[in-house]
Amino acid sequence: MISNLCSALRVVGLVSLVITSISVPSRAGGPASAGWTKLSPTTPFPARAAFASAFDPISKKVVVFGGSDGVNQLDETWTFDGTTWTQVHTNVSPGARADAAIAYDAKTQKLVMFGGFIGLTILNDTWLWDGATSTWTQAQPTTVPTGATNPSLFTDPANGHVDMFGGYQGRFYSRSMYQWTGSDWLLLNPSTTPYPRAGAVAVFDPPSHRVVMFGGISDIWIVQNTWTWDGTNWMQEQPATQPPPLYFTTGAFDPAVGQVVVFGGGSVGVDQNTTWTWNGKNWHQQSPAFSPPSRELFGTVWYPPQHQFLIFGGDLFSTGQLYGDTWSLAKN
């Protein structure tokens, strides 16, 4: 079990991105055929879950911060260069935390991290990762959003800044939406917003030029609906097929198949090892010959330098088993 707060978040909910500068590919014809392969990095990923992770286009590395080792929240920064996982020691660092969220701000060319928790304290601080210097800086915004765990952070499809939606605030789930301006959080007021939630998957889909969001945990049970964000407003989609209710999962756009890919996550207390793709209109379940073990609270990125769709870490809720593995999804 990752933490008492994670468990409490589940109880409340059951009674809680990565964008890179790439050319927009065309859609693959029909559902993508793909297979999973377990990688063998020179230095493996340290076993942990509930960390914040994203691809940093400036350093061309995957960046991971914090998480839980099953007992304590962590304050470590790790990077992956396609070959090895490396712990990065910085003079200034965010405090230990789990369930924070992070995304790339294309305007400022920095990763923006918000929230999470330490012990029973939900955090509301904002940190910036500069991939050019491998340094953390704490931002000092005038507007400070309410602290939250598992909010959705993603790059805005209209202007490249980081947007934040929802999260669990300790007593309530949020539907508030903010945008990072580079120095402050700006409260957004779209005319339509999804129902409050935390732990949803939200991914920028370049062909449609929208962010697609699915699932999460809310105070009305586990969420099973699909929404898209165009930078101005949210629209609820009506796909013919949807994944089961999912939470604590992540996804990324895979240019190799031209679709958003989502793996695993929790579903009504049972972790999954299924692979789903979103083609802009509908969800399709894939049938790879081999899949990673079921898990939640793990990391997912598209890694452009090696054209790899990666997942890493996480835990199995039923047993508390932590993973320190790295997997790649390849188009067959």
Q: What is the mean pLDDT of residues 27-50?
A: 83
Residues 6+ apart with CB under 8 A from 327: 36, 37, 38, 39, 292, 310, 311, 312
Q: How many CB atoms lie within 10 A of CB 244?
A: 15
pLDDT band at 13 (very low <50, low <70, confident <90, very high): very low
Q: What is the mean pLDDT of residues 211-231?
A: 93
Longest dimension (CA), the chain: 51
Q: What is the mean pLDDT of residues 43-51?
A: 98
pLDDT band at 220 (very low <50, low <70, confident <90, very high): confident
Please indicate whether residue 269 or residue 30 has the higher confidence score (pLDDT): 269
The confidence score (pLDDT) of residue 18 equals 31
DSSP β-bridge partners for residue 155: 162
* Amino acid type, 120: L
**Residue 187 has which token pair?**
């409260």
The confidence score (pLDDT) of residue 331 equals 74
pLDDT band at 262 (very low <50, low <70, confident <90, very high): very high
DSSP class of residue 306 equals G
**Residue 101 has which token pair?**
């969220």
Q: Which residue has the tokens 């409260």?
A: 187
Cα-Cα-Cα-Cα torsion 35, 198, 204, 36, nearest 10 degrees, comes to -10
Q: With pLDDT > 90 as the criterion, what percentage of the chain qualifies?
A: 87
- What is the SS3 assignment for 182? coil
Distance CA(229)–CA(160), nearest Å, equals 13
Q: What are the tens digits of pLDDT across the range 81-111?
A: 999 999 999 999 999 999 999 999 999 999 9
Distance CA(54)–CA(62), nearest Å, equals 6
What is the spatial order of strands in the sheet that 135-138 belongs to? 101-105, 110-114, 126-130, 135-138
Q: What is the pTM of this model?
A: 0.92
Residues 6+ apart with CB under 8 A from 29: none
Q: Is residue 264 predicted with pLDDT exceeding 70? A: yes
Domains in the chain, ordered, with CATH?
Answer: 4-331 (2.120.10.80)
DSSP β-bridge partners for residue 110: 105
Cα-Cα-Cα-Cα torsion 57, 59, 60, 65, nearest 10 degrees, comes to -90
Distance CA(243)–CA(122), nearest Å, equals 30
Please indicate whether residue 332 or residue 255 has the higher confidence score (pLDDT): 255
The confidence score (pLDDT) of residue 9 equals 46
Q: What are the tens digits of pLDDT across the range 239-250?
A: 999 999 999 999
CB 76 within 8 A of CB 47: no
Would you report the helix, strand and coil content of the chain in percent, each value rounded to 5? 5, 45, 55
The confidence score (pLDDT) of residue 24 equals 45
Q: Which residue has the tokens 């190799």?
A: 256
Q: What are the tens digits of pLDDT across the range 146-194?
A: 999 999 999 999 999 999 999 999 999 999 999 999 999 999 999 999 9
pLDDT band at 207 (very low <50, low <70, confident <90, very high): very high
DSSP β-bridge partners for residue 254: 259
Element (H, E) at 265: strand 259-267
**Residue 285 has which token pair?**
């379940």
Range of weakest confidence among 9-18, 295-304, 313-322: 9-18
Range of weakest confidence among 141-150, 218-227, 316-325: 218-227
Q: What is the mean pLDDT of residues 317-331?
A: 95
- What is the SS3 assignment for 109? coil
The confidence score (pLDDT) of residue 14 equals 34
Burial of 42 (0-12, 13-18, 19+ CB in 10 A): exposed
Q: Is residue 214 predicted with pLDDT exceeding 70? A: yes
Helix ranges restricted to H, the chain: 4-14
How many Å separate Cα 277 from the centre of its chain?
A: 16
The confidence score (pLDDT) of residue 26 equals 53
